[in-house]
Amino acid sequence: MLFNSLDFAIFLPIVFILYWFVTQKNLRLQNGLIVVASFVFYGWWDWRFLSLLLFSSMVDYVAGLAMMKEQRQRRRKWYLILSIVSNLGLLGFFKYYNFFLESFTAAFSFFGMPIHAGTLYIILPVGISFYTFQSLSYGIDVYRRKLEPTRDPIAFLAFVSFFPQLVAGPIERATHLLPQFQKARVFDYSKAVDGLKQILWGLFKKMVIADNCGQFADLIFSQSESYHGSTLLLGAFFFAMQIYGDFSGYSDMAVGLSKLFGFDLMQNFSFPYFSRSIAEFWRRWHISLSTWFRDYLYIPLGGNKKGKAKTIRNTFITFLVSGLWHGAHLKYLAWGGLHALYMLPHLIKTKTAKRESAIAPGKFLPGWKEGFSILFTFILVLLAWIFFRANSLAQADQIFSEIFSRSMLTIPQVLPRKILVLLAFFLLFEWRGRNSLYAIEKTGSQWPIWTRWLFYYFILLLIFLEGGREQPFIYFQF
């Protein structure tokens, strides 16, 4: 079920009414409703994969209780290994079986020993990369004694399957979200209104910006051999806007929907395209995943505590695994590896310059130095997106060859003016709200009420006029 679908427009009010008007006085019943609603939401796509969600949840629930009762460290470690193997085993089979099989046979063929192995037609369950990581972090935190395991299976199922963030994040930690299922929620009108504003902006980012930019990105990348370098670079720009609008739009909707039900989810995007360095970009892009890899991979490998060489090694491992998390394809490894290379100057520096978290505070425009840093960082990110979006490494190579040629000096062959106007409107409000939780969080707070509502209706009108047909979210395929 898509947030931007008629089905969800019917589903949400029904769940909201039952949640606040029928089950409000019974916490366990309220959590049970969330579980049922979440299973309906997920099963709407393919009910058969509900068994995977349930299996992953139950393994970690049981492993958590076993670790709590067991004092012997060796036994506790075995329960943790059970959790890790179960979760990563499911993820590995559905997402990487054919990739590793093909790589294995290609390696033997390269050394003159061809072997034949049949691949399987495997459907990738929506959201499996997200909910397995969320459930897996619970077991790891229990093992580290950072979290007391819950005895309530309903609350735990609600935590793993919570429908606003089930299929594309944010990837929540049990230490933050699980306690919210264990205490009574009270309807907060101001929080609900704030949630509706964030949902509205998320819908605008997805349906107006991402889906329209996606049409032209698809057109240009599907016929890349026919276009000049300037057009291909514009195609990469459209994809950069598409993936940001699509994924951060989903996150805005997930956070906003959670507020309607009395929950607080973590911020998953913090205006990453206004970053002043690659290190800052990764503190602002897909925050829930980058912090997950930091806490459960980078730091356990040694982080930056064991010298420059190992810091660089750990960084490359983390970025390559992050690339592979996005998909079983060499292009994602190239994308992750390129970002690791981007990080090298930051890692090699003897002293790391500390930047203030706010971007151009109190200014309408940044200073020339800060503006150059933002532009340069965006260009680096934009070029890396070419690997991510290309159909293959060969196509990426062809696109780069054309971009770094004289054809870059030509006028783009595709120049959709209406989309460029919409992007200018979008980026203006993103820049105005760059130091808020989302772009229009504070927009209109000092305006007369009629002006504020006129602005909201204008955004809604753009969604209806420019939204087009239902389009799935890009990160559903990851």
Interval 211-258: pLDDT, tens = 999 999 999 999 999 999 999 999 999 999 999 999 999 999 999 999
* 341 vs 185: CA distance, rounded Å: 46
* 178 vs 294: CA distance, rounded Å: 21
Torsion of CA 389, 391, 397, 400, to 10 degrees: -30
pLDDT at 101: 53
Query: Residue 326 catalytic?
Result: yes
* 405 vs 409: CA distance, rounded Å: 8
pLDDT at 168: 85
* 162 vs 164: CA distance, rounded Å: 6
81-86 contacts, C-beta under 8 A, 24 or more apart: 83/59, 83/136, 83/139, 83/140, 84/136, 84/139, 84/140, 86/55, 86/56, 86/59, 86/60
pLDDT at 97: 64
User: What are the helix and strand counts (H, E) for the chain?
Assistant: 18, 0
170 preceded by a cis bond (ω within 30 of 0): yes
pLDDT at 136: 92
Model pLDDT for residues 420-458, shown as the tens digit of each residue:
999 999 999 999 999 999 999 998 888 899 999 999 999
Question: For residue 103, is it left (φ>0), alpha (ψ between -120 and 50) or beta?
Answer: alpha
Tokens 């033997």, located at residue: 108
Rounded to 10 deg, the angle between the 393-403 and 229-260 helix axes is 120
* 203 vs 4: CA distance, rounded Å: 7
- Tokens representing residue 406 in the block: 């004289």
Which runs of consecutive H residues, i.e. helices, occur in 111-228? 128-143, 153-161, 174-181, 189-203, 211-222
Domain residue ranges of the chain, discontinuous segments joined by +: 6-186, 190-276+355-477
Give Cα separations from 413 to 209, 226, 229, 262 (angstroms): 21, 10, 10, 49
Q: Roughly how many angstroms between the first and final C-alpha of the chain, as a whole number?
A: 16
Q: What is the CA radius of gyration of the chain?
A: 23
* 315 vs 402: CA distance, rounded Å: 31
- Tokens representing residue 163 in the block: 């429908």
Tokens 């205490």, located at residue: 183
**Residue 274 CB: number of other CB atoms within 10 A?**
22
pLDDT at 363: 87
Tokens 């309220």, located at residue: 30
pLDDT at 107: 46
Tokens 């309408």, located at residue: 364
Give Cα separations from 100 to 66, 86, 147 (angstroms): 33, 18, 35
* 303 vs 299: CA distance, rounded Å: 4
297-301 contacts, C-beta under 8 A, 24 or more apart: 297/321
Active-site pick, 326, 329, 339, 346 = 326
* 363 vs 278: CA distance, rounded Å: 23
Question: For residue 145, is it left (φ>0), alpha (ψ between -120 and 50) or beta?
Answer: left
416 preceded by a cis bond (ω within 30 of 0): no
pLDDT at 119: 47
Per residue, the 3-state secondary structure of 323-376, as one string, reads HHHHCCCHHHHHHHHHHHHHHHHHHHCCCCCCCCCCCCCCCCCCCHHHHHHHHH
Torsion of CA 378, 383, 386, 392, to 10 degrees: -150
pLDDT at 28: 94
Model pLDDT for residues 297-324, shown as the tens digit of each residue:
999 999 888 889 999 999 999 999 999 9
Give the burial class of 370: count Cβ atoms within 10 A of its Cβ; 0-12 exposed, 13-18 middle, 19 or more buried. middle
For 9, residues 6+ apart whose C-beta sits below 8 A from its C-beta are: none
* 268 vs 271: CA distance, rounded Å: 10
Give Cα separations from 277 to 29, 320, 346, 378 (angstroms): 47, 19, 9, 9
pLDDT at 401: 96
Q: Which residues of the chain have pLDDT under 50?
A: 104, 106-111, 117, 119-121
Give the burial class of 145: count Cβ atoms within 10 A of its Cβ; 0-12 exposed, 13-18 middle, 19 or more buried. exposed
* 330 vs 103: CA distance, rounded Å: 10
